[in-house]
């Protein structure tokens, strides 16, 4: 295997993204001490647009595109992504070379004044960037007010600390990676807050190259097979239903011995309609298990529920653009 003299990792410039890139850099440096590994920090469209939810500005790919351009132009050799931010289908010429061992996949309740969602008074404002979390909270706590929360991790915590929200819901993995586990007041059990596909997992994306350097082989020692298998099952459910962040969808798999347990949920953003399904099967048949659970959801009219979500999202976008035009403000380019 040919080890290059230099590798460049493309990364978003948020503190969490740079921690993730540095984590990969450190591991590669230990594996290949003769190779200089550096980080190319970049700002993506997803980082720049903070006044609207991801579902209204182009989806998960907004965090990935600029990094792929850097790799295509030869300015970077690989990119580190949160797997839940990666589109279900990668562009031609790119592959997912490795999936790292999963961190805590659970959602975290963060508040300066309250110990849990149960402790929040009626009318309290809860912040989340996720339609999935919004639906789950709305279904169990209709008395709470749920408002969008965008920005990197520090920005979100800052909004909480300024009193804009009574509580916010974040991925536990990011808080733990940045040494902020003390901010977590409660970890939400998957039974009540089923995680997003791939939540807590890092993935390495590489371009297909013709210079004799086998990037996938170089990154193979970082690959964690069990984490890859559960991600395959979880993402297959999402892929069947379009893999969009415009739909409240959750899927979460665990492995016990040689068996995998996969649970999934789809809902309307207001939590009024929610269906779930689960199945068990051989872990090595992860994709088939994902298809099985997706079909169980489809049998419960998941397609109609998700179509209603997309229709509502389109109507909301049209209304927002009409309001901007009426106010004399050009509609934002999503």
Query: How is the chain split into domains, by residue range?
Result: 1-100+201-223, 107-188, 224-326
Shortest CA distance to 172 belongs to which of 103, 226, 125? Answer: 103
Q: Which fold has domain 1-100+201-223?
A: D-Maltodextrin-Binding Protein; domain 2 (3.40.190)
* Residue 297 CB coordination number (10 Å): 23
Element counts in the chain: helices (H) and strands (E): 10, 13
**Fold that domain 224-326 belongs to in CATH:** Double Stranded RNA Binding Domain (3.30.160)
What does pLDDT average to in each consecutive run of 10 residues of the chain (334 residues)? 93 94 98 97 62 45 81 95 89 95 98 98 96 96 95 94 98 97 98 96 91 89 98 96 82 97 95 96 98 97 85 51 44 31
- CATH fold for domain 107-188: D-Maltodextrin-Binding Protein; domain 2 (3.40.190)
Q: Is 1-100+201-223's fold the same as 107-188's?
A: yes
DSSP label of 88:
S
On whether the CB atoms of residues 253 and 243 are closer than 8 A, the answer is no
The token duo for 84 is 């839940």
Note the pLDDT of residue 313: 57
pLDDT at 98: 97
Cβ atoms of 62 and 87 closer than 8 Å: no
pTM summary value = 0.86
Catalytic residue (choose from 47, 77, 85, 107): 85
- The pLDDT score that the predictor gives to residue 312 is 60
Q: Is 191 a catalytic residue?
A: no
Beta bridge partners of 73: none
CB 215, CB 266: distance < 8 Å: no
- Radius of gyration for the alpha carbons in the chain, expressed in angstroms and rounded: 20
- Structure confidence at residue 63 (pLDDT): 66
């Amino acid at each position: 295997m040919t080890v290059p003299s230099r590798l460049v990792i493309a990364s978003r410039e948020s503190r969490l993204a740079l921690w993730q890139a540095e984590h990969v850099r450190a591991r590669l440096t230990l594996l290949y001490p003769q190779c200089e590994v550096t980080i190319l920090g970049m700002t993506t469209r997803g980082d720049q647009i903070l006044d609207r939810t991801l579902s209204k500005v182009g989806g998960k790919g907004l965090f990935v595109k600029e990094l792929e351009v850097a790799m295509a132009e030869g300015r970077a050799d690989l990119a580190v992504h949160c797997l839940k931010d990666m589109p279900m289908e990668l562009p031609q010429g790119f592959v997912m070379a490795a999936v790292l061992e999963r961190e805590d996949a659970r959602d975290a309740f963060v508040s300066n004044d309250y110990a849990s969602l149960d402790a929040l008074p009626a009318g309290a404002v809860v912040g989340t960037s996720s339609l999935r979390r919004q639906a789950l909270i709305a279904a169990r706590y209709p008395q709470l007010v749920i408002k969008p929360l965008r920005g990197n991790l520090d920005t979100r915590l800052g909004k909480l600390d300024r009193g804009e929200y009574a509580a916010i819901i974040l991925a536990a993995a990011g808080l733990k990676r940045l040494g902020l586990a003390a901010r977590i007041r409660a970890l939400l059990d998957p039974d009540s807050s089923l995680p997003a596909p791939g939540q807590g997992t890092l993935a390495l994306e590489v371009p297909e190259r013709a210079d004799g350097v086998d990037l996938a082989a170089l990154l193979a020692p970082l690959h964690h097979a069990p984490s890859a298998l559960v991600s395959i099952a979880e993402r297959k459910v999402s892929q069947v239903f379009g893999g969009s962040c415009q739909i409240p969808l959750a899927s979460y798999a665990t492995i016990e011995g040689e068996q995998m347990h996969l649970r999934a949920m789809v809902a309307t953003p207001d939590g009024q309609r929610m269906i779930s399904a689960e199945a068990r099967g051989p872990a090595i048949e992860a994709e088939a298990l994902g298809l099985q659970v997706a079909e169980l959801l489809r049998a419960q009219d998941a397609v109609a529920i998700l179509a209603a979500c997309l229709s509502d999202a389109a109507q909301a976008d049209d209304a927002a653009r009409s309001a901007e035009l009426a106010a004399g403000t050009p509609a934002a380019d999503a």
